[in-house]
Amino acid sequence: MTLKRAVYHLCKWAGLFALARRLTPGGLRILCYHGFAVADETEFRPGLFIRAETFRRRLAYLAAHNYPVISLEDAIERLSRRALPPNATVITVDDGFSGFHRLAWPELAKHSFPSTVYVTSYYAGKQQPIFRLAVQYMFWKTQVAELDTSLLGLPEHESVALDSPASRDRVQWQIIRYGESDLSEPQRNLLAARLGERLGVDYGELESNRAFTLMTPSDLRELDAAGVDIQLHTHRHVLPEDEASVEREIGQNREFLEPLTSAPLRHFCYPSGIWSHAHWPWLDGQGVITATTCDQGFNYSATPRLGLKRFLDGENISQIHFEAEVSGFTELLRSLKRLHMPTWLMRYCRASQ
């Protein structure tokens, strides 16, 4: 057990989690998830993916400890009136990986928990594995010691020793940049298949198990009909730095999602959590009323609606860490840090997080 977990367990045993919950009833907790693993994705990216068993344990904890899980729409309306139920919690999911439909939604339905899923539309329409993720996964998975890039059709040819992390990373990004900037989607898919052959990784299996593929339009229609809130996340999972490009990204995203959904598309999630205040008037101009970040913390009536905070959960988060977060214990630690606590207490809190 790590020091952090040991400290959390000690604090829970001492009743500090229960105390924190009583001290933070008005803070809106927004949980954030991404992918739900169908194979070994949690070993590849534990911060991006979570096992169904772990997610099931999270939901069971929320239910057993009477955390009111409410919809984002309801939460925002109540937050403005300061009328949230104590310890209100919202569940959000980014990107729209196919594992949500297969693994997460059935678990949410068992508890009648609402959720908001922010969907990027480019790969939802293409129905191919996300090129960048697939390339990164295959380089992580391979046992091959050397790669000859001349066999991939890249402009520059070389033989790269993959036992060097620096060389592996360099050639990986060379392939990603070439595929994303110079190739069409069918060409990228062909390049990924060729790369899989050279690395000894079955790209066909990645296509069939849909680990890095987004939900289909029919999946989204089914979720919408069942009450899942489908919302905006840009077309290509990028939020540009100029108004015209932002308008295009959200416009294309909305154009794809509107025929599949019944709720107004007015909630947004910043891709990769990258945002700035400059985006706010542009989002407002696109009819966006809330936007979620990847910044940690609870949300209160004064929290800007285009800068909502969340807790990023994944397989890299232990159960005790999850409990510390939803109880409000780590929220109180963040508050203490902002108050410039004594050095000895600061060191203690750093060990706790």
pLDDT of 156 reads 79
User: Is residue 115 domain-shared with residue 34, that is, in the same domain?
Assistant: yes
- Span 302-319, mean pLDDT? 98
**Confidence check: pLDDT of 349 > 70:** no
Identify the domain containing residue 353 by its residue range: 1-24+328-353
* First vs last C-alpha separation in the chain: 14
Give a yes or no: residue 266 inside a domain. no
312 belongs to a structural domain: no
Q: Which two tokens stand for residue 260?
A: 């599949």
158 and 113 in a common domain:
no
Both 135 and 63 in one domain: the answer is no
pLDDT band at 77 (very low <50, low <70, confident <90, very high): very high
Q: Which of 197, 222, 247 is the last residue of a domain?
A: 222
CA dihedral 240, 243, 249, 252 (to 10 degrees): -170
Backbone φ, ψ for residue 116 (5° rounding): -115, 130
Classify the phi-psi angles of 96: left when phi > 0, otherwise alpha if psi is within -120 to 50, otherwise beta: left
Residue 342, both tokens: 């004594």
- Cβ–Cβ under 8 Å, residues 257 and 264: no
Does residue 191 form part of some domain?
yes
Q: How far apart are CA 203 and CA 135, in angstroms?
A: 10
| pLDDT for the residue 154 | 86
Q: What is the 3-state secondary structure (H, E, C) of 104-138?
A: HHHHHHHHCCCCEEEECCHHHHHCCCCHHHHHHHH
The per-residue pLDDT for range 84-118, each reduced to its tens digit, is 999 999 999 999 999 999 999 999 999 999 999 99
Do residues 61 and 171 share a domain? no
Q: How many domains does the chain have?
A: 3
Residue 19 resides in a domain? yes
Which pTM value belongs to this model? 0.94
Residue-averaged pLDDT of the chain? 94
Determine phi and psi for 95, rounding to 5 degrees.
90, -50
Helix/strand/coil for 15: coil
Q: 73 and 218 share a domain? A: yes
Burial of 288 (0-12, 13-18, 19+ CB in 10 A): buried
Q: Are 173 and 155 part of one and the same domain?
A: yes
Q: Give the number of other Cβ atoms within 10 Å of residue 102's Cβ.
A: 15
- Which pLDDT score is estimated for 340? 58
Please, are residues 92 and 31 in contact by the beta-carbon 8 Å criterion?
yes
Boundary-marking domain end, from 192, 222, 252: 222
Residue 207 pLDDT more than 70? yes
The pLDDT of residue 353 is: 45
pLDDT in tens, 29-76: 999 999 999 999 999 999 999 999 999 999 999 999 999 999 999 999
Question: Which two three-digit tokens encode residue 79?
Answer: 């937050």
145/103 same-domain check: no
- Neighbouring CB atoms inside 10 A of 289's CB total 14
Q: Which residues pair with 91 in a beta bridge?
A: 31
